[in-house]
Amino acid sequence: MGLAELAPSERHRAVAADFTAAAAQVPDWDTPTPVAQWRARDVVGHLVGWLPGFLEGGGVSLPAVPSADGDPTAAWAAHATAVQALLDDPTTGERTFERPYVPAQPLGQAIDTFYTADVFMHTWDLARAAGVEVALDPELCARLVDGMAEIEDVLRSSGQYGPAVPVPADADPQTRLIAFIGRDPAWSPAA
């Protein structure tokens, strides 16, 4: 079964495990990434930094975690564990999450849509910073890029995505996704 068919809790578990595997291969947390001006530690800092505030806006709290500036591995491990515990809690599925500009939806679905998808995409960034090739689930790549293409103007105007990188029309789903979010699919760290 591919990632696209999993429930939010199981998809997060799998995506977080892939990110953890990429993190374990980072030789230097100050190495550049495919995201301009970001070092490897900044990828972790981004993921552990924005979700707590997003959830707080809907009345949900996550415990504080160590800073990614000091120990990115510990920060990621604590954060991923806290998110997984929230998703594994049987009351999460019954809880409605809403905040300004986000339609009311089950909390697990909100985490899946906004956060797990972000971890999935940033797994490529972290793996590439480590000089490792990563094969993202092609069905989930296709689903994400197709869904984001429908709201491309909103995404680009948010400043969170760079201009799309041109790729051949017959490019595989991972290449299309990575290019759509503004990364050069051929990026590799300097030798």
Interatomic CA distance for residues 141 and 96, integer angstroms: 27
Over residues 148-166, the mean pLDDT reads 81
Nearest to 113 by CA among 99, 127, 126: 99
Interatomic CA distance for residues 54 and 5, integer angstroms: 25
67 against 152, higher pLDDT: 67
For residue 152 the two structure tokens come to 């491309």
Burial readout 75-111 (b: 16 or more C-beta within 10 A, e: otherwise): bbbbbbebbeebbeeeebeeeebeeeeeeeeebbebb
Q: What percent of the chain has pLDDT over 70?
A: 99
DSSP of 110-166: HIIIIIIHHHHHHHHHHHHHTT------HHHHHHHHHHHHTTHHHHHHTTSS-PPPP
What is the model's pTM?
0.94
Q: What is the pLDDT of residue 191?
A: 67
Interatomic CA distance for residues 136 and 34, integer angstroms: 16
pLDDT over 70 (residue 63): yes
Q: Which residues contact 152 (CB under 8 A, 6 or more apart)?
A: none
Confidence of residue 100 (pLDDT cuts 50, 70, 90): confident
Interatomic CA distance for residues 118 and 173, integer angstroms: 16
Question: Identity (one letter) of the amino acid at 157?
Answer: S
CATH code of the domain made up of 3-136 = 1.20.120.450
Q: What is the pLDDT of residue 49?
A: 96
Confidence of residue 68 (pLDDT cuts 50, 70, 90): very high
Question: Identity (one letter) of the amino acid at 141?
Answer: C
Which stretches does DSSP call E strand in the chain? 96-99, 102-106
